Copies of this chain bind each other. A is one copy, B any other.
Amino acid sequence: MSQLQRLTISEQQCQGRTLDLLPEQVHYLRRVLRLAPGSRFIAQDGQGQQWLATLGDKLDQAELEEVQRGGSAIAPFILIAALPKGSGFDAVVRQATEIGVTDIYPVLSQRTLLNPSDSRVSRWQRIAQEASEQSERLTIPEIHPPVSFPALLQQPALASQQYLCVARGEYPHLLTQLQKDLSAAAAVAIAIGPEGGWTPEEIAEAAVKGYQPVSLGSAILRAVTASIVALAIVAAVREPYR
């Protein structure tokens, strides 16, 4: 089925085996994907469920011919990332989605001044949805509302294994630490600082809350690149458990 186009729907649109398409979805299927009556596509709910759908004659409905469950539950794979200046976070959301994160927490650190508008959060959620469809992912990562780093640390632990990436410190490399720690299908959260790095107080407070400080190596990476590098390493180590 990998060659079929994908469309994210909500379960409320399904009545038994009939899918009621929204006007913008009809437009997308017809004008963008140029599908005709009888064409097939994959409908997915972003929660792990997917259907093989056949477009109806009037193009505003589709029949769900077949239902597939998204397999076993995916262990949380969480990116906590300080918001960079400008639009750099768009690329982080897109690439993190491709790599397979389940949750993204944009955080405001002591060195982040930006407080993003609600419209940017919806934009990131839309980017995550598009990237999920392109990557044939069954689930769309959830973009959480931006929160200050201290407030995030006050919440219950996000994962059983939590890492804080610190530049210029003498910490163990993320790869070494992961290969020492990782148990099958463990939930992992990884936090990436802003351009200027985490402050010493942030590192200390995170350590108290169970975040292991780790290094991404001797290279000096921009924050956007650091996110992708860290996620790539986590995904590679987790791969046998996917």
Tell me, yes or no, whether A232 is within 8 Å of chain B by CB: yes
Is the Cβ of B225 less than 8 Å from the Cβ of A98? yes
Q: Which chain B residue has the least Cβ–Cβ distance from A224? A: B95
Each complex incorporates copies of this chain amounting to 2
Residue among A134, A216, A230, A236 facing the most chain B CB atoms (10 A cut-off): A236
Do B95 and A225 touch (CB < 8 A)?
yes
Interface residue tally on A, bucketed by range = 20 to 34
| A204 located at the interface, meaning its Cβ lies under 8 Å from any Cβ of chain B in the complex | no
Q: Chain B's nearest CB lies how many Å from the CB of A106?
A: 19
Does A218 reach chain B (CB closer than 8 Å)? yes
**Which single member of B94, B216, B228, B236 contacts A217 (CB below 8 Å)?**
B236
Across the interface, do A99 and B236 meet the contact criterion of CB distance under 8 Å?
no
| Binary contact readout A220-242 vs B (1 if CB under 8 angstroms, 0 otherwise) | 11100100111011011101101
Residues on the B chain within 8 Å of A237, using CB: 175
| Alpha-carbon distance A66/B240, docked complex (angstroms) | 50
Contacting pair B229 A99 (CB below 8 A):
yes
SS of A interface (majority): helix
A219 at the interface (CB under 8 A from B): yes
How many angstroms between the C-alpha atoms of A228 and B168 in the bound complex? 21
User: Is A173 interfacial (CB-CB < 8 Å)?
Assistant: yes
Does A99 contact B221, Cβ atoms closer than 8 Å? yes
Q: Which residue of B lies closest to A221 (CB)?
A: B98
Are A220 and B136 closer than 8 Å at their CB atoms? yes
A53 within 8 A of B: no
Closest to A233 in B: B236
A100 CB within 8 Å of chain B:
yes
A99 to B218, CA, bound (A): 9
- Decide yes or no whether A135 CB sits under 8 A from chain B: yes
Q: Which of A55-92 contact B (CB under 8 A)?
A: 91
Tell whether A190 is near chain B: CB-to-CB under 8 Å: no
Residues of B near A225 (CB, < 8 A) are 94-95, 98-99, 228
